[in-house]
């Protein structure tokens, strides 16, 4: 064995900060990209962000300038009329009703406020009456009286301590005193949840059709009366890509109207041409290179999204023409081969991106579905199979619902090969119960 020094040349991909930035920018949605650009502008004085003025005032001004004729409707419109007031929360709603009850002592008001403040988001009281009495150091009877008062407030069924009590409160609020109805709520909720109508009928000794009518009334009740007041966040998705049909073609565009334009600050750009200290110029050159690379990365993102979106539209043309039943199976590897991009690039490009189409707003990942075999040899997407299952269940006779095996056999006759387990999985994902629990007597 001989030892010595050798020199050789190799190529390897180094993950530079610039490359890491380009990868990060590609996987950002429009909203995330907007926040990222503002962060970069705050750190780099060279970067100028020119945001598009989308204010109502500008739009109204442009419309007035474009219109030569007077408006068709001269009635003044207040834009606030179209903005909904924030939903009142459950605590304030019940507190207002408690305040309208006359004759309550300070102690009773305090007990009522404590009970209202301890309701969960569904409107249930999770504390025991004895526990409340011990905490407040008041008689148990006093707590029970105030609780009964609150249970008479709206929404009906509020401040219940169990599902059965919640439903019974709603029945009493509606003035329904059917003996069998109350009996089912008190003692047969498990059978009702499993749709064991015959078992309930046998236990009560009444006709099965009568039990069906009663259970239909129970199912119309609200098991979570406080849920309507629970706060929730509305997520608004901004389309990153738009697809419009023009004659026989589909035009794909990348929506960058919501993203501010990145430019170079002219003041700092001019400073680079003037004599200055070398340290200052070095700082400005570094910031200038960072800004130019950011602009380059944004353009690369736009071109990549365009290529990927165009490939998706071309591959799924039948979907755009005829609907979800014609959605083809498609993988990210296939799009990578079509576009000449790496599969990881496709994954980043479709992450958190949405496409506005003539058929609605879709996440790009929606178009990537697994393949299901069919008798004619064509591959069908799992999404179209789900929609077919939904169509079958929606159109079935409620007295004779299709079992998973029956749906499997029916789809096999149509040329789509699915196992019973796959049908059951898709049915559950669609939110449908089993055939035994869907049956109506």
> What digits encode the pLDDT tens for the residues 3-53?
666 666 665 655 567 678 788 888 888 888 888 889 998 988 888 887 655
Of the candidates 170, 168, 166, 159, the residue with the CA atom closest to the CA atom of residue 114: 159
pLDDT of residue 233: 53
List all residues 6 or more positions away from 216 whose beta carbon is below 8 Å from its beta carbon. Answer: none
Q: How confident is the model at residue 73 (pLDDT cuts 50, 70, 90)?
A: very low
Q: How confident is the model at residue 419 (pLDDT cuts 50, 70, 90)?
A: confident
User: Do 100 and 221 have their domain in common?
Assistant: yes
Cα separation of 186 and 167, whole Å? 9
User: Do 306 and 388 have their domain in common?
Assistant: no
User: Do 343 and 418 have their domain in common?
Assistant: no
> Is 355 in contact with 240 (CB distance < 8 Å)?
yes
Question: Residue range 130-149: average pLDDT?
Answer: 93
User: Do 263 and 357 have their domain in common?
Assistant: yes
Q: Is 105 exposed, middle or buried (0-12, 13-18, 19+ CB in 10 A)?
A: exposed
Question: Residue range 330-336: average pLDDT?
Answer: 90
pLDDT of residue 438: 84
User: Do 174 and 220 have their domain in common?
Assistant: yes
Which of 367, 402, 421 terminates a domain? The answer is 367
For residue 60, pLDDT beyond 70:
no
Q: How confident is the model at residue 372 (pLDDT cuts 50, 70, 90)?
A: low
User: Do 339 and 247 have their domain in common?
Assistant: yes
User: Do 387 and 319 have their domain in common?
Assistant: no
User: Do 96 and 188 have their domain in common?
Assistant: yes
User: Do 118 and 94 have their domain in common?
Assistant: yes
List all residues 6 or more positions away from 372 whose beta carbon is below 8 Å from its beta carbon. Answer: 329, 379, 380, 381, 382, 385, 416, 417, 418
DSSP sequence for 276-302: --HHHHHHHHHHHHHHHHHHHHHHHHH
What share of the chain has pLDDT > 70, as a percent?
Answer: 83
CA dist 24 → 28, 33, 36, 37, 351 (Å): 7, 9, 10, 12, 11
Question: For residue 6, is it within any domain?
Answer: no
User: Do 245 and 354 have their domain in common?
Assistant: yes
pLDDT in tens, 272-325: 777 767 777 788 888 888 889 999 999 999 999 999 999 999 999 988 988 887
At 312, list the tokens: 């998706």
> Is 316 in contact with 329 (CB distance < 8 Å)?
no
Question: For residue 7, is it within any domain?
Answer: no
pLDDT of residue 167: 93
Question: For residue 271, is it within any domain?
Answer: yes
Which of 229, 263, 284 terminates a domain? The answer is 229
Q: Which structural domain, as residue segments, surrounds residue 94?
A: 90-229
Place of tokens 């014609």: 326
pTM (predicted TM-score): 0.59
Which of 173, 196, 229 terminates a domain? The answer is 229
Greatest mean pLDDT among 58-67, 131-140, 406-415:
131-140
pLDDT in tens, 177-216: 788 888 999 999 888 888 888 899 999 888 898 988 888 8
User: Do 126 and 140 have their domain in common?
Assistant: yes
CATH of the domain at 418: 1.10.10.60
């Amino acid at each position: 064995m001989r030892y010595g020094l050798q020199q050789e040349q190799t190529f390897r991909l180094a993950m530079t900060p610039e490359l890491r930035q380009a990868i990060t920018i590609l996987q950002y949605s429009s909203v995330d990209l907007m926040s990222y650009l503002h962060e970069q502008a705050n750190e780099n004085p060279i970067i100028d962000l020119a945001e598009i003025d989308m204010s109502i005032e500008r739009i109204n001004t442009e419309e007035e300038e474009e219109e030569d004729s007077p408006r068709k409707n001269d009635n003044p419109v207040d834009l606030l009329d179209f903005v909904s007031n924030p939903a009142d929360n459950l605590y304030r709603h019940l507190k207002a009703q408690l305040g309208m009850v006359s004759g309550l002592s300070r102690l009773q008001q305090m007990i009522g406020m404590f009970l209202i403040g301890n309701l969960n988001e569904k409107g249930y009281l999770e504390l025991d009456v004895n526990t409340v009495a011990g905490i407040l150091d008041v008689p148990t009877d006093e707590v029970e009286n105030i609780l009964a008062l609150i249970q008479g407030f709206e929404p009906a069924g509020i401040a219940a301590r169990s599902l059965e009590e919640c439903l019974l409160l709603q029945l009493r609020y509606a003035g329904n005193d059917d003996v069998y109805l109350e009996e089912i709520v008190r003692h047969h909720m498990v059978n009702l949840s499993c749709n064991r109508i015959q078992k309930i009928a046998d236990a009560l000794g009444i006709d099965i059709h009568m039990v069906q009518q009663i259970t239909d009334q129970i199912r119309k009740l609200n098991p979570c009366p406080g849920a309507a007041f629970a706060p929730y966040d509305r997520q608004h998705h901004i389309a990153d890509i738009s697809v419009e049909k023009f004659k026989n073609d589909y035009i794909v565009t990348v929506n960058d109207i919501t993203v501010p334009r990145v430019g170079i600050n002219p003041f700092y750009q001019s400073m680079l041409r003037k004599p200055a200290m070398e340290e200052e110029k070095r700082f400005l050159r570094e910031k200038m290179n960072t800004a130019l690379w950011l602009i380059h990365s944004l353009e690369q993102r736009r071109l990549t999204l365009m290529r990927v979106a165009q490939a998706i539209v071309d591959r799924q043309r039948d979907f755009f023409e005829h609907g979800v039943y014609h959605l083809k199976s498609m993988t990210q590897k296939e799009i990578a081969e079509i576009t000449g991009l790496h599969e990881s690039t496709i994954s980043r490009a479709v992450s958190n991106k949405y496409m506005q189409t003539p058929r609605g707003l879709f996440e790009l990942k929606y178009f990537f579905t697994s393949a299901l075999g069919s008798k004619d040899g064509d591959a069908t997407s799992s999404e179209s199979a789900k929609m077919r299952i939904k169509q079958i269940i929606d159109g079935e006779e409620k007295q004779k619902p299709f079992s998973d095996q029956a749906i499997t056999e029916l789809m096999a006759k149509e040329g789509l090969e699915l196992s019973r387990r796959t049908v059951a999985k898709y049915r559950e994902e669609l939110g449908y119960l089993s055939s035994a629990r869907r049956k109506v007597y």
